[in-house]
Amino acid sequence: MQVNRDFIGALLQLNAEKGVPQEVLIQTLEQAIESAYRRNAEAAENVVVKVDPESGQISVYREYEVVATPEEVEDPELRMTVAEAQKIDASTGVGAKVRVPENVTQAQLGRIAAQTAGQVYRQRLREAERDVVFSQYASREGEIMTGVVHRTTDSAVILDMGKGVEAVLAVGEQLPQEHYRIGQHLKVYVLEVRRTTRGPVLVVSRTHRGFLRRLMEMEIPEIYNGTVVIRGIAREAGSRSKVAVESRQAGVDAKGAAVGQRGARIQAIVAELNGEKVDVVLWHEDAGQFVAEALSPAEVLNVRIDEEHKIANVVVPERQLSLAIGKEGQNARLAAKLTGWRIDIRSDAGVAAAGSGPADHRTAAAEASVDAQATT
């Protein structure tokens, strides 16, 4: 029995247009015909259908399990002895499967069977298409993609990512004070790709530190090609971030490359982040130097590292104390997250006063829950 040549042509067209591999299409067709044949011919479950993609020839087989002795043949419709199987295929052994051609005519399948096969085929084709789309998007986890705002709800913004795929930007993953309009193009960071009955759904973010990392890779060639590497990111989305960078090539200024001429590169990133400030600092292997860098733009006079208690005791000029601590302690808090050290900040005047007797001083201590490497 043969499938219409035009139908084979249609399969090849689907292969080209939808990206579904030809072998998947053929397998789907085989499963559809098997399902229809079993239902309409009351055939056993061991019926197997094979379609030749070149000629369109359909072959129907009965597949038997090969057993050693007649006593093991509990159902002759499903099992046969190795002696019988070797008459069909001399190389067959116990535990193998042997196929016997079924004598099937077009009339046996009939119109209902063909319709059923068509229905099952269309359903499984949709499933195959969804699998292909899912695999395409699953590989994009951890990347930035651009979608179009399709609709908004109280809990999320829904983006159209193309190919019938939607992305969900939950309220918790949105930048504060950022407003979205229908039809707006929006860059998002792909956190997860979920498989659903309607196809893949992307879970995306604009607050994740990975979003900032990918933006910097896109905007700064030296980071993209590995000349400059990001050693850590501490982020309070929508407000401020600190990024530690290191040069892997002599003569390359890591901080200068990241900031760009007159700040052009970092400003492009700030614009994408809706005005979120981004401090670029140099990474140092020496903990004291790194802590001092992380507290920029404040000037640091001295850093004493307490290895036992994982505390960095920092001294800054009196006039720089507020800047070092930052509004509501943000600068010190981000520096602590970036470096992995608890930071105790005091002014030089406060230290001097403490040396001569009791004195009031302001302290900004921010416990880092992760080390600098984990903030990447």
| Strand order across the beta sheet in which 342-347 lies | 302-306, 311-316, 342-347, 365-366
In terms of DSSP bridges, do strands 199-205 and 144-152 run parallel, antiparallel, or are they unpaired? unpaired
CA 111 to chain centre: 45
Which residues, at least 6 apart from 110, have a Cβ–Cβ distance to it below 8 Å? 40
Indicate yes or no: pTM above 0.75.
no
- The first and second tokens of residue 32, run together, are 């559809």
Cα 109 to Cα 340: distance, rounded to the nearest angstrom: 71
Q: How far apart are the first and last CA of the chain?
A: 61
Three-class DSSP category at 108: helix
CA 175 to chain centre: 20
Q: With respect to CATH, is domain 298-376 assigned 3.30.300.20?
A: yes
Q: Name the residue among 173, 167, 116 with its Cα closest to residue 145.
A: 167
Task: Give residue 52's pLDDT.
Answer: 81
Domain 298-376 in the same topology as domain 208-283: yes
Cα 363 to Cα 295: distance, rounded to the nearest angstrom: 14
Averaged in consecutive runs of 10 residues, what is the pLDDT profile of the chain (376 residues)?
58 65 79 79 79 79 91 89 91 91 71 65 76 86 96 95 92 93 96 88 96 96 96 96 96 95 94 95 95 95 92 93 93 96 90 58 40 45
Task: Give residue 373's pLDDT.
Answer: 42
In the CATH scheme, what is the code of domain 5-136?
3.30.1480.10
Residues 205 and 173: beta-carbon distance below 8 Å: yes
Task: Give residue 135's pLDDT.
Answer: 85
CATH, domain 208-283, list 3.40.50.300, 3.30.300.20, 3.10.580.10, 1.50.10.10: 3.30.300.20
Q: With respect to CATH, is domain 144-207 assigned 1.10.10.10?
A: no
Task: Give residue 117's pLDDT.
Answer: 64
Secondary structure letter of residue 249 according to DSSP: S
Domain boundaries, the chain: 5-136, 144-207, 208-283, 298-376
- The first and second tokens of residue 311, run together, are 């505390």
